[in-house]
Homo-oligomer: A and B are copies of this chain.
Amino acid sequence: MAAPLDGVPDGEAGSLPEATVVRLPVYFRGLVELAEDGTTTVSSQQLAELAGVNAAKVRKDLSYLGSYGTRGVGYDVGFLMQQIGRILGGNEPAPVVIVGAGNLGKALSRYDGFGASGFPVVAIVDADPAVVGRKSAGVVVHHVDELPKVVKKAGCLVGIVATPAAAAQEAVDRLVAAGVRSILNFAPVVVTVPEGIGLRKVDLATELHILGYYEHRRGASRATG
């Protein structure tokens, strides 16, 4: 039943409760929003509200990662993003392509710590011709039809889905078709991949606000469930 993450030091993320692993991307997304607002500190209560859970659960979950908070103060937003990013992404840098150049996609591409935590954003694609050619955080937006080319050229190992809900499944399908095998879904819908595709499914749960977390890193592929 345990769902150890590839590329993460054992005895740390390898021993995270499955329910906690499921919530990490939810926290991460909340932290991205806070970072965008320039907020540098967050309490378990605030993060709980952003994630739609209670504060006790947040503290419990974060305690599995380590003692990263400060009593009487809270958690450092940037540091916490790094830690969670590190766990979600593993240690070795994995070039990221973001699908969707809307608000969320742009926020993710702008966030510096994202690259620092092992997710350098090297490409962005979008379906809207109006945004193709624009730059976000120094990266030119390409059309989604060019995804296979973009992925190959930039060596993207991870795809982040930052589309509206209705487009998320197609984004995933396109990423899979382009050979991407690690997908973080930040759209508010749970997506699926064909069985036998070799994606590792870490997370079966969902939330109204978010998510779905599929992970497969350079390793053996196993299916949960």
Tell me if A188 is interfacial: C-beta within 8 Å of chain B. yes
Contact indicator B201/A204 (Cβ below 8 Å): no
Q: Which residues of chain A (188-221) have a CB below 8 Å from chain B? A: 188-193, 195, 201, 204-208, 212
**What is the CB-to-nearest-CB distance from A221 to chain B, in angstroms, rounded to a whole number?**
14
Q: Give Cα distance in the complex from A195 to B193, angstroms.
A: 26
Tell me if A66 is interfacial: C-beta within 8 Å of chain B. no
User: Which residues of chain B are within 8 angstroms of A208 by Cβ–Cβ distance?
Assistant: 192-193, 195, 201, 223, 225
Q: Which residues of chain A (156-205) have a CB below 8 Å from chain B? A: 165-166, 168-170, 173, 188-193, 195, 201, 204-205
User: Which residues of chain B are within 8 angstroms of A165 by Cβ–Cβ distance?
Assistant: 169, 191-192
Q: Give Cα distance in the complex from A188 to B225, angstroms.
A: 14
**What is the CB-to-nearest-CB distance from A142 to chain B, in angstroms, rounded to a whole number?**
21
**What is the CB-to-nearest-CB distance from A170 to chain B, in angstroms, rounded to a whole number?**
5
Q: Most chain-B CB neighbours within 10 Å: which of A190, A207, A223, A225? A: A190
Identical subunits present = 2
Tell me if A52 is interfacial: C-beta within 8 Å of chain B. yes
Q: Most chain-B CB neighbours within 10 Å: which of A173, A205, A206, A223? A: A206
Contact partner of A170 among B166, B190, B192, B212, CB < 8 A?
Answer: B166
Contact indicator B192/A189 (Cβ below 8 Å): yes
User: Which residues of chain B are within 8 angstroms of A188 by Cβ–Cβ distance?
Assistant: 192
Closest chain B residue to A194, Cβ basis: B208
Q: Give Cα distance in the complex from A169 to B173, angstroms.
A: 15
Q: Give Cα distance in the complex from A178 to B191, angstroms.
A: 24
Contact partner of A204 among B173, B189, B192, B205, CB < 8 A?
Answer: B205
User: Which residues of chain B are within 8 angstroms of A207 by Cβ–Cβ distance?
Assistant: 204, 225
Q: Give Cα distance in the complex from A170 to B188, angstroms.
A: 13
Closest chain B residue to A173, Cβ basis: B166
In the A-B complex, the 3 residue pairs with the closest CB atoms = A190-B190, A166-B169, A165-B169
